[in-house]
Structure 1
Amino acid sequence: MAPIPNGPYGISRRNEQYLTLHDEKAPAVVLPPTGEPGEQEWHIEALSNGNVTIMNLRHETYLSFDGVPEINKMLRGSSQATEWQLRQSAEPHMFHIVVPGGPIDGVELTVDLSLLRIFPPMTALRPLEPESPAQAWRFEFHE
């Protein structure tokens, strides 16, 4: 059972920076509200195994990565649905977006900001630090 209902969401960090997809296969970046319809809206769909898919509403592509999950792998839009696990963080409505299936090379991987210091900030798979509120994402349900 997914921790949130299916439907459209804005997915943001605490500083009002939203997960954004500019183009269907573009890198997933983090930006303040852009005002572009659907670019920062994501449809969460629960799967029978308790995982979810995260699909961008504007481009109808999924939050994903190329190949196998590994540390610092960049996230982007993909026509292939990728499964994610939403794990409740210490704060309400805040979740870690985790690669399901357990540790990879000894660590669990989560959606976080890339270490690259470029603009706009890109997203990448990073080692999960469950106690770190900085890695959690707020899911805001859109009517």
Structure 2
Amino acid sequence: MAFIPAGVYSISRSGNRLLTFEHGAEKGSPAVLLPPTGQPGIQEWEVRVDSNGNVTIRNLKSQTYLGYEADPQVNMPVGSYPEPREWALYQSAEPFTFHVVVPGGPIEGRELTLDESLLRIYPPRIALRPLDVHDLRQPWRFEFHE
């Protein structure tokens, strides 16, 4: 489990693509990867650290949480929800990069992490995928905002 201070972050992948809710504040709006939009708060996330070391991730613009419906499963879509969902952060090889993992795993014999969906559509959607700590594309970069 990794330590990250509570605060506001942008959460990105290679190519300067940022974690974003596709339709703003709608419940269940898909989490997607988009280039910077320039719209205040839409690609900024408040990370809160719980006493157990897990985190919740809330979008500043929509005030909704990064989450998923019901019991986590492989390929389940990730999106915007009004209630907080806990995530575990596993430090990856690079500083300030983490695997964002469903806590309490394994599930169906595997730990599940935030990753790009297998759906080949634009913008790329985010889903729960099997964790592969050796896949250098899976971690997310958390960049602190003052």
Question: Which band: TM-score by shorter chain?
Answer: over 0.9
Q: Normalising to structure 1: TM-score of the pair? A: 0.97
SS at match of 1:105: coil
Q: Which runs of 5+ in 2 are unaligned?
A: none
SS state at 1:133 partner: coil
Unaligned runs of 5+ in 1: none
The reply to whether residue 121 of structure 1 matches residue 127 of structure 2 is no
After TM superposition, the structure 1 = structure 2 runs for residues 1-143 of structure 1, keeping only pairs within 5 Å, are: 3-21=3-21, 22-24=23-25, 25=27, 26-143=29-146
- Structure 1 position 118, deviation (Å): 0.4
Give yes or no for contact 2:114–2:127 (8 Å, CA) kept in 1.
yes
RMSD across aligned positions (CA): 1.1
Residue identity over aligned pairs, in percent, reads 57
* Deviation at residue 2 of structure 1 after TM alignment: 5.6
Work out the CA distance in 2 between the residues paired with 1:134 and 1:52.
21
TM superposition outliers: structure 1 runs of 4+ over 6 Å: none
Larger CA deviation: 22-31 vs 43-52: 22-31
